Every structure is written in structure tokens, then in C-alpha cells.
Amino acid sequence: MELNSITFKDYKPAASRTDKYASFFVFLIWPLLGLFLSIRHYKFKNSKNIIWFFSIFIGLSFSFSDGSDSNRYRNNLINLHAKQHYSFAEFLDYTLGEESNSIDFVQPLINFLVSRFTANEFILFGVYGLVFGYFYSRNVYYLINKVKEKVKIEALGFLVLFAILVPPWSINGFRYWTATHIFFYGLIQYFEGNKKGLLAIISSVFVHYTYMLGLFLFAFYFVVGNRLNLYFLIYILSLFLSFVDITVVKSFTEKYSSEKVQNRTSTYLSEEYSESYFEQEGSVNWYMKYRYDFIKILVAGSYFWIFFARQKLIRQNLMMLKLFCIGLIFMSFANINQSIPGMVRFFYIGFMSVTVMLFLFFQLLKFKRRPDWYKFASVLFVFLFCIVELRIGFDSLTLATLVGNPFTVGWFDKSITLFQFIFGGR
């Protein structure tokens, strides 16, 4: 086995002027076809922007369901638009003032600015798609830019997995999932030597306050460095210590955090909310409930295989080593705290890190063979996870997303989801 000589050399083939503008023209006529063509011609320089624009289009054609975060964002926009006398100074005082329980800033700011012009929730979610899609498309194209000629079949599954881990329809929960892509964008920029990535890492806190924990974990890595053996030991221990008493976390929060943080997190740390959360989790379909486990098993198998059989190759490549280490840190943290509602979401930075590492590993290294169990597991679990995530996406996407375009999107009934349209019911 050997590293290719083109390791980590970004490949950006020249695109003709026709190629550059044809993709935009197709997108305006039929965004979904434009997306497929951008995937087919992924080497074209502007393909990443088509993915960005399609994220915006998803927001413009979104479906809102009762009880979802998206519905609360919509209601907030309508309430704000009704208060045209509400000044920006009053907004800042309400959002940042001492009496406010709000901690996040970006989503309330977007809602306020959009509300000055319209109460149209689709415009609001188009703006959400604009912000989310920028970081999403750049993160996906970080992987694609490492491809010299074509994506190897061994690496293709991990590229697909990365693209579907936190997909554009995640704007249903705009705050956390946008913060996730911003944080990861900053992470890979910093790992590549661009210190401006630190700004993105820090700014994720303003999108969702829980990334203060992400910032703490990154600071731990920053101080300790690439101690692969140490992190792997912590990871193994976390598999057997996958619990934290929620009352301990609540006591710690009350003792060491500000009153605003305490007020914001009190609901999530209450025993009543915890019981309700896990009861709800237990009532969903088995494939939705266990979709995290598909990837957790794949990640665990990958970690053990690479650590014991391919560690030397990882240590020879600093980017892969960094991704391995930060992935272990986040996976360990999520394992230990998974009894706390919402902490399961911190698996995703670990998932994203190890997925990028595995993509680079298989794309840039020459292998004689992989273990048969790994081939089977990687194909099976990636397929299962992607199918479930697409199914979840069908609850937010609409027929307008499928066949509409920016000019006709207003003609469709967006109260009917794609799942309802295909399988019936409301």
C-alpha cells in the first residue's frame, strides 16, 4: 500500500464559459435536473453553487408540520411582521438583554430582518437555505476537491454518506444543524492550516448555544494535540460508560453557568422532559429509532480496523490523523452523555469527521484488499442510513421541490408533503 502522489492536491478542472452558464440555466428551468447534472459533472467549478442554490430552493418549497421547529419559526415570523413598530434596538434588547432567556442570535436576527419585509414563511426558509446551503455545499466540495480524476467506488459510499448526514432539509431544525455545518467547516479549514477557520468554529456558538460544548471539546483537542492512543482509550471506555446522571449535569449547570444559560437549559435537563423525550423516541418506527446505530456500528468498526491494522498509514497523513482524533473526542463525548436528551446530536461531528477521513483514506490510498466484513458493513449501513434520511426528508419536501422551479414554486400546494403525495393521506 502506498499514498498516491496527488495526496490532498485540490483538483479543479477548467470549465468553459458555456459549461459555467448552462448549469445555471438548467437550474432555473428545473432545479432537480440541475442538481443531478451538477452531481454528474461534479468536477465543474460551479457545481457546488448549484447545490447551494438547490438548498435555497428547498427552503422556498418547504412543508411545515405542527409541533416542528419549522412551524415555530414560521409563527415567530408572522408575530414579528405584525409588530412593524418593533425597532431594531428593541429587538436587540429583547434578544440580548439581561431579562431575555434567548442565547442564540443568528436565527432570531434572520427572522427579524425578514419580518420587516414580509410574513411569507417560504421567503424565510429560502434565507435559511441560503445560509445553511453555503456551508453545506462547501463541506461537500471539500471532499470532491480531493478527487483527481474520478471518485473510487470504495470511497463513493462515504461521499454519499457525508452528503446525507446533515442534508439541506435539516433546515427544519435550522439552528442546530446550521451550527453543525458551520462548526465542521471551520474545523476542516483550521486543519488545512487556515486559521480563519477558528472564526467559523467560534461563530457556531451564536447559531446554537450548545456549541459552547463543541468549542470546549475543540479547545481540549487544541491543548492536548494529536494523542491518538489516548483518545482511542477514552473512546473504548466511553462504550462501556455510556451514561451520565442528568441530575449531575443539571447541578453542574446551575453552579457554573450564567442565569441565562440555566433558564435556557432548564427544560432540557428536567427529568420530566427526559422521560417524555425518550418515550417519544421509543414510539417512532424502528428504522428511524435505530438509524444512528447503523452509523455508530460502522464508525466503531472503522475505528478498530484502522487503529489496529492501518494506524501507520493514518499517522503518515496529518489531515487524516487530525480527523481521526477529533472524531474520537466527539464520539466519546456523545457516548458518555447520550442519556441526556439532545446530546445524541453531538454524534454528528464525530460521524462527519470519520466519514471524511474514510473518504480520503479510500480515495487517496492504494489497497490490495479490504476485509470482507468491512465491505459488507460499509455498504449495508450506509445504504440503510441514507434510505431512512431520505424518508425523513420526504416529510419536509413537496411536489414543488420535485418538479417546480423558482418561477412556478408559488403555484403548488406546499401543505402536502412528498410522502403524502406518493403514499396518500394528509
DSSP state of 257: S
In a domain, 41, yes or no: yes
User: Is position 419 within any domain?
Assistant: no
Residue 325 near residue 313 (C-beta atoms within 8 A): no
Q: Per the domain annotation, does 47 fall within a domain?
A: yes
Is the Cβ–Cβ distance between 294 and 378 less than 8 Å? no
pLDDT over 90 (residue 273)? no
Q: How confident is the model at residue 188 (pLDDT cuts 50, 70, 90)?
A: very high
List the single range of 9-23, 177-191, 269-283, 387-401 with lowest mean pLDDT: 269-283
pLDDT at 7 over 50: no
Tell me whether residue 3 is in a domain: no
If one compares 169 and 338, the residue with the highest pLDDT of the two is 169
- 417: DSSP letter: B
Task: Report, as an integer, the average pLDDT of 369-378.
Answer: 81
pLDDT at 251 over 90: no
Among 354, 361, 371, 352, smallest CA distance to 313 is for: 361
Between CA 161 and CA 151 the distance in angstroms is 14
Choose the weakest-confidence range: 16-20, 115-119, 251-255, 300-304.
251-255
Asked whether residue 53 is assigned to any structural domain, the reply reads: yes
Output helix, strand, coil percentages for the chain, rounded to the nearest 5: 70, 0, 30
Residue 124 lies in a domain: yes
| DSSP H or E segment with residue 419 | helix 418-423
Q: Evaluate whether 332 touches 277 at the Cβ level (below 8 Å).
A: no
**417 lies in a domain?**
no
How many structural domains comprise the chain? 1
C-alpha cell at 368: 490490495
Query: What is the mean pLDDT of the segment spanning 313-327?
Result: 94
Per-residue DSSP letters for 65-112? Answer: -TTSHHHHHHHHHHHHHT-TT--HHHHHHHHHSTT------HHHHHHH
**Structural domain range at position 188:** 17-403
Residue 131 included in any domain? yes
Which runs of consecutive H residues, i.e. helices, occur in 145-245?
Answer: 153-165, 174-191, 197-207, 211-224, 228-240
